[in-house]
Structure 1
Amino acid sequence: MSKILSRRDLDFLLYEWLDVEALTARERFTEHSRETFDAFLDVSAQIAERDFAPHNRRSDLEEPTFDGTRVHVIPEVAAALKVFNDTGLLSATMDADVGGLQLPHVVARACFAWFQAANLATSSYSLLTAGNANLLLSYGSTAQIDRFVRPMLEGRFTGTMCLSEPQAGSSLADVLTRAVPSGDGTYRVTGSKMWISGGDHELTETIVHLVLARAAGAPAGVKGLSLFIVPKHHIEADGTVGERNGVSLAGLNHKMGYRGTTNAVLSFDDATGYLVGEEGKGLVYMFQMMNEARIGVGAGAVALGYTGYLHALDYARSRSQGRLVADKDPAAPAVPIVQHPDVRRLLLSSKAYVEGGLALILYASKLLDEPSDDNDLLLDVLTPIVKAWPSQWCRLANDHAIQVHGGYGYTREYPVEQFYRDNRLNSIHEGTDGIQGLDLLGRKVVMRGGAGLQLLIGRIVTTAVAAPTELGQPVIAMCDRLATTTRKLWAAGDPTAALANSTAYLEATGHLVIAWLWLSQLLAAGDKEGAFYDGKRLAARYFITHELPRIGPLLDLLDSGDTLLADLDDTVLG
Structure 2
Amino acid sequence: MPAYKAPLRDMLYVLYELMDGESVTSLPGFEDFSRDTIEAVLGEAAKLCEEVLQPINRSGDEEGCAFENGVVRTPNGFKHAYDAFRDGGWTGIACDPAFGGQGLPATVDTLVVEMICSANLSFGMYPGLSHGAYVALHAYGSDALKETFLPKLVDGTWSGTMCLTEPQCGTDLGLLRTRAVPNDDGSYKITGTKIFISAGEHDLTENIIHLVLARLPDAPKGVKGVSLFLVPKFLVKPDGSPGARNGVACGSIEHKMGIKASSTCVMNFDEAQGFLIGAPHKGMQAMFTMMNTERLAVGVQGLGLAEASYQGAVAYARERLQGRSLSGAKYPDKPADPLVVHPDIRRMLLTQRAYIEGSRALAIWAAKNLDLAKRHPDPAERAKAEDFVAVITPVVKALMTDLGFEATNLGMQVFGGHGYIRENGMEQFVRDARIAQIYEGANGVQALDLVGRKMPAHAGRFLRSFFHPVSDHIAAKKADPALAEFIGPLEKAFIRLQQATTFIAQRGMARPDEAGAAASDYLRLFGLTALAYLWAQMAENSLPKAEEDPFYRAKVGTARFFMERLLPQTGGLLQAISSGARTTMAFEEAAF
TM range (shorter): over 0.9
1:565, 1:168 → 2: CA distance? 25
Tell me which residue corresponds to 1:544: 563
Identify the match of residue 559 of structure 1 among 554, 578, 582: 578
TM score, norm. by length of structure 1: 0.97
CA spacing shift, 1:336–1:161, aligned 2, 3 Å? same
8 Å contact from structure 2 (residues 70, 249) kept in 1: no
Q: Deviation per CA, 1:117-173, whole angstroms, max 9, x where unpaired? A: 100100111111011112111111111112211111122111000011111122111
Tell me which residue corresponds to 2:113: 112
2:147, 2:329 → 1: CA distance? 74
1:428 aligns with 2:443: no
2:315, 2:97 → 1: CA distance? 42
8 Å contact from structure 2 (residues 4, 119) kept in 1: no
Tell me which residue corresponds to 1:364: 366
1:119 match: secondary structure? helix
Identify the match of residue 396 of structure 2 among 379, 386, 392: 386
Q: CA deviation at 1:332?
A: 6.7
Worse overlay, 508-517 or 284-293? 508-517
Tell me which residue corresponds to 1:156: 157
8 Å contact from structure 1 (residues 66, 251) kept in 2: yes
Identify the match of residue 461 of structure 2 among 445, 451, 463: 451
1:50, 1:300 → 2: CA distance? 19
2:424 match: secondary structure? coil
Q: Deviation per CA, 1:475-496, whole angstroms, max 9, x where unpaired? A: 2232223223222222241222
The one-letter code matched in structure 1 to 2:166 is E
Q: CA deviation at 1:41?
A: 0.4
Query: Structure 2 matches for 1:237-276, cutoff 5 A?
Result: 237-276=238-277
Query: Structure 2 matches for 1:48-59, cutoff 5 A?
Result: 48-59=49-60
Identify the match of residue 509 of structure 1 among 526, 536, 560: 526
8 Å contact from structure 1 (residues 213, 227) kept in 2: yes
Worse overlay, 405-414 or 71-80? 71-80
2:568, 2:58 → 1: CA distance? 38
CA spacing shift, 1:43–1:130, aligned 2, 3 Å? same
1:501 match: secondary structure? helix
Q: Deviation per CA, 1:261-291, whole angstroms, max 9, x where unpaired? A: 0000111111111000110110001111100
1:488, 1:343 → 2: CA distance? 38
Identity %: 38
Q: Deviation per CA, 1:322-354, whole angstroms, max 9, x where unpaired? A: 111233899973111101111111101110011
1:477 match: secondary structure? helix
Q: CA deviation at 1:444?
A: 0.8
1:478, 1:286 → 2: CA distance? 35
Tell me which residue corresponds to 1:346: 348
8 Å contact from structure 2 (residues 4, 54) kept in 1: no
Worse overlay, 398-407 or 145-154? 145-154
1:346, 1:323 → 2: CA distance? 18
8 Å contact from structure 1 (residues 189, 272) kept in 2: yes
Query: Structure 2 matches for 1:186-335, cutoff 5 A?
Result: 186-327=187-328, 333-335=335-337
2:25, 2:295 → 1: CA distance? 27
The 4+ residue runs of structure 1 with deviation greater than 6 A are 328-332
Q: CA deviation at 1:462?
A: 2.6
1:395 aligns with 2:397: no
8 Å contact from structure 1 (residues 497, 566) kept in 2: no
8 Å contact from structure 1 (residues 162, 193) kept in 2: yes
2:70 match: secondary structure? coil
The one-letter code matched in structure 1 to 2:366 is A
The one-letter code matched in structure 2 to 1:380 is A
Identify the match of residue 525 of structure 1 among 542, 546, 567: 542
Tell me which residue corresponds to 2:513: 496
Q: CA deviation at 1:522?
A: 1.3
1:97 aligns with 2:116: no
2:232, 2:333 → 1: CA distance? 69
1:164, 1:112 → 2: CA distance? 25
8 Å contact from structure 1 (residues 4, 117) kept in 2: no
2:207, 2:586 → 1: CA distance? 49
TM score, norm. by length of structure 2: 0.94
Q: CA deviation at 1:415?
A: 1.1
2:86, 2:456 → 1: CA distance? 41
1:499 match: secondary structure? helix
Query: Structure 2 matches for 1:98-177, cutoff 5 A?
Result: 98-177=99-178
8 Å contact from structure 1 (residues 485, 558) kept in 2: yes
The one-letter code matched in structure 2 to 1:417 is E
2:573, 2:496 → 1: CA distance? 11
1:328, 1:481 → 2: CA distance? 43
2:555 match: secondary structure? helix
The one-letter code matched in structure 1 to 2:320 is R
Tell me which residue corresponds to 2:418: 408
Q: CA deviation at 1:431?
A: 0.8
8 Å contact from structure 2 (residues 497, 529) kept in 1: no
8 Å contact from structure 2 (residues 388, 462) kept in 1: yes
CA spacing shift, 1:135–1:326, aligned 2, 3 Å? same
The one-letter code matched in structure 1 to 2:456 is V
Q: Give the total of aligned pairs.
A: 573
Q: Deviation per CA, 1:92-113, whole angstroms, max 9, x where unpaired? A: 2222211121211101111222
2:544 match: secondary structure? coil
Q: CA deviation at 1:16?
A: 1.4
Gaps of 5+ in 2: 374-381
Q: CA deviation at 1:551?
A: 1.2
2:334, 2:36 → 1: CA distance? 51
2:308, 2:333 → 1: CA distance? 35
Q: Deviation per CA, 1:401-427, whole angstroms, max 9, x where unpaired? A: 111111111101111110111001110
The one-letter code matched in structure 1 to 2:434 is R
Report the aligned-residue RMSD.
1.7
1:320, 1:24 → 2: CA distance? 47
The one-letter code matched in structure 2 to 1:498 is A
Worse overlay, 563-572 or 104-113? 563-572
8 Å contact from structure 1 (residues 500, 565) kept in 2: yes
1:134, 1:169 → 2: CA distance? 22
